[in-house]
Amino acid sequence: MRKLIGGAIYLLSGALGVLAFIYPFFTSAGALVQRGAAHAQDAPLLTAGLVGLSVVALLVELQGRTLSAKTVAMLGVLVAFTSVLRFLEVAFPMPGGFSPIFGPIIIAGYVFGGRFGFLMGTFTLLASGLVTGGIGPWLPYQMFTAGWAGLSAGWLGQASEWMKDKMPGPAHAKEEQRMAQDVSDADVIVLCGFGFVWGLLYGAIMNIYFWPFAVGPAAQTWEPGIGLGKTLARYGVFYMVTSLAWDLARAVGNVVLLLALAKPMIRALNRFRRRFHFQVRGSHSDLTGLENHA
């Protein structure tokens, strides 16, 4: 029952977040226009508030279910590690939209699962925003999108495990590979492809929240009631003209970073994942002593 409720919270906050980004594609004709030009900016402000609330709701759920001392410590240190990379980005401007933070977020999600990946994405953007002075109305969107990148990396990791199980081959070889937590070249290639897609997707998603309110030539701007196909075509043109080159730098940067770092980072994280599986159990005599003391 609890799993079902947890899943419903994921689904609802995810739906709210997705709709927050793509609602202009489905809004009824004229609904925004009828409110008048003076209220044109109401919807983006309201949307920013809703995105913030859905992030908050999801965080309440995630915190209540997973955050043990080990997760808290691991997450804190990995967020610090990634935030230092963001420092490098601020200090030495990188080409286009390239940011070295996405590689570690994707790798952490891939190794530790979707929940950890989501928390890693949101907290990395929040912590680095705090230390680099990057707090602003854009932050909830950045947190949500980076969280999704981490969450989907977790799903990719699970899919990869499932595929390895289904692949033909001797069972003992698979077991040996699992015990060694080895990373194959195929894993790295899949991760690079995933990083490339998220490099483009991050920019495309972050554009959508302001695109409906941008004024421009008819071939690039949204109008109420033009239909899904036309809207997608116009957004495609807008994206190609304004963002593609910028986002390509991020996508290619992610690929280069993952090619260089994925194998050693996954090996290191896997090693520590096994070490983090310690359990503290009090002995019977300790407990009796405590009871007597009380």
Partner 1 sequence: MLDARVWFVWALTTLVAASATRSPLYIIVLLLTTMVVGGTCAAGEGRRAPLSPLRFAMVAVPLSALFNALTIHLGDTVLLHLPSWIPLMGGAITLEAVTFGALNGLTLTVIFAAFSVFNQVTPVRDLIKLTPRAFHEGGVVLSIALTFIPQTTRSLQRIREAQAVRGHRVRGIRDWLPIVVPLLVSGLERAMGLAEAMVARGYGAVCSEKQPFRTQALIIVGLMTLLAGWLAYLFNAAWSAPAVAVIAIGAVTIGVAIWLTGRGVNHTVYRARSWTAGDSFALLGCAVTLVAACRGRAALYYSPYPVLTLPSFDPLMGLAMLGLLVPAIVTVAREDAEMHRDPDEGNGFSKQPQTSTDHG
Question: Which residues from 100-119 bind partner 1, rule CB under 8 A?
Answer: 119
Q: Is residue 131 involved in binding partner 1 (CB under 8 A)? A: yes
Going from the C-alpha of 142 to that of each of 48, 114, 128, 154, 277, the distances in angstroms are 11, 17, 11, 18, 32
Q: Is residue 5 involved in binding partner 1 (CB under 8 A)? A: yes
How many contiguous H segments (helices) and E segments (strands) does the chain have? 12, 0
Question: Nearest Cα to 264, choosing from 88, 103, 76?
Answer: 103
Going from the C-alpha of 246 to that of each of 122, 171, 260, 277, the distances in angstroms are 23, 46, 22, 42
Q: Is residue 123 involved in binding partner 1 (CB under 8 A)? A: yes
Q: Is residue 251 involved in binding partner 1 (CB under 8 A)? A: no
Min separation Cβ 136 and partner 1, Å: 4
Residue 212 DSSP one-character state: G
Q: Which is nearer to partner 1, 166 or 275 (CB)?
A: 275
67 vs 176: CA distance, rounded Å: 30
Of 95, 135, 162, 176, the one binding partner 1 by CB under 8 A: 135
Min separation Cβ 244 and partner 1, Å: 13
Residues between 228 and 247 with contacts to partner 1, criterion CB under 8 A: 237, 241
Residues between 35 and 54 with contacts to partner 1, criterion CB under 8 A: 35, 37-39, 41, 43-46, 49-50, 53-54
Of 79, 105, 146, 204, the one binding partner 1 by CB under 8 A: 79
Q: Which is nearer to partner 1, 38 or 167 (CB)?
A: 38
Q: Is residue 265 involved in binding partner 1 (CB under 8 A)? A: yes
End-to-end CA gap in the chain = 37
- Longest distance between any two alpha carbons in the chain, whole Å: 80
- Write the DSSP string, 67-88: --HHHHHHHHHHHHHHHHHHHH
Binding-residue total with partner 1 (CB under 8 A): 88
Q: Which is nearer to partner 1, 159 or 290 (CB)?
A: 290
Residues between 160 and 199 with contacts to partner 1, criterion CB under 8 A: none
